């Protein structure tokens, strides 16, 4: 496996571990459950993530997904993600309290975002670095990995250095 893909998957594993820890910490305040898919939408991803997903799905001989054009995300099937083991990093953070830098607030600063179905009646919850996921840090690491990937990539037909719609997966499987 290419070193840079290994680094992407390491980041993905780190996010999975943090997501699992945070889901446990906040279990009393989260409504997330199997079949709830209000957070799903058609996404685009960086080429490194796209390539990694294609490579892994081919290696595991995953059934080519069929699109559900009526769903918010093409990959939703009966309310479930049909590419769940390979889903992008952002999908692994759904519902968690995510920290982003907000430039537009006065004064600019970090803010916490989460699904409106979660953390209801939790006015007193004290969000901090120990119980949130800093997505700016994750995205920065991902962007750096993607830059190295683009510099090295020799993947046929994957010429774009911009984000790629996940629905294009079908063209590569």
**Binding residues vs ligand SF4 (CB under 6 A):** 31-32, 36, 38-41, 43, 73, 75-76, 81, 83, 87, 91, 94-95, 115, 117-118
Of 57 and 73, which has the nearer Cβ to ligand SF4?
Answer: 73
For 112-127, b/e burial (b = at least 16 CB within 10 A) is bebbeebbeeeeeeeb
Smaller CB separation from ligand SF4, 15 or 91: 91
CB 62 within 8 A of CB 110: no
**What's the rounded Cα separation, in Å, for the pair 150 and 159?**
9
Nearer to ligand SF4, 37 or 147 (CB): 37
CB of 156 to ligand SF4, least distance (A): 24
Beta carbon nearer to ligand SF4, 35 or 124: 35
Shortest distance, position 172 Cβ to ligand SF4, whole Å: 15
Pick from 84, 82, 54, 57: nearest CA to 68: 82
Q: How far is the CB of 141 from ligand SF4 (least distance, A)?
A: 19
How far apart are the C-alpha atoms of 173 and 165, rounded to whole Å? Answer: 14
SS3 category, 85: helix
Whether 17 and 154 have beta carbons less than 8 Å apart is answered as no
Nearest CB to ligand SF4, comparing residues 68 and 148: 68
Shortest distance in whole angstroms from residue 72 CB to ligand SF4: 8
169 in Cβ contact with 53 (< 8 Å): yes
Smallest gap from Cβ 69 to ligand SF4, in A, equals 13
């Amino acid at each position: 496996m290419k070193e840079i893909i290994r680094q992407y998957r390491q980041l993905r594993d780190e996010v999975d571990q943090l997501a699992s820890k945070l889901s446990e910490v906040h279990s009393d305040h989260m409504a997330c459950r199997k079949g709830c898919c209000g957070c799903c939408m058609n996404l685009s991803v960086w080429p490194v993530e796209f390539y990694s997903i294609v490579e892994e799905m081919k290696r595991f001989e995953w059934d080519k997904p069929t699109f559900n054009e009526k769903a918010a995300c093409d990959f939703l099937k009966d309310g479930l993600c049909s590419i769940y083991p390979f889903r992008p990093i952002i999908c692994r953070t759904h519902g968690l309290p995510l920290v982003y830098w907000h430039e537009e607030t006065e004064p600019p600063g970090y803010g916490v975002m989460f699904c409106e179905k979660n953390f209801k009646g939790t006015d007193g919850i004290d969000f901090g670095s120990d119980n949130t996921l800093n997505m700016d840090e994750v995205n920065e690491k991902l962007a750096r990995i993607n830059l190295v990937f683009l510099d090295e990539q020799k993947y046929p037909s994957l010429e774009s250095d911009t984000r790629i719609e996940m629905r294009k997966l079908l063209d590569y499987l």
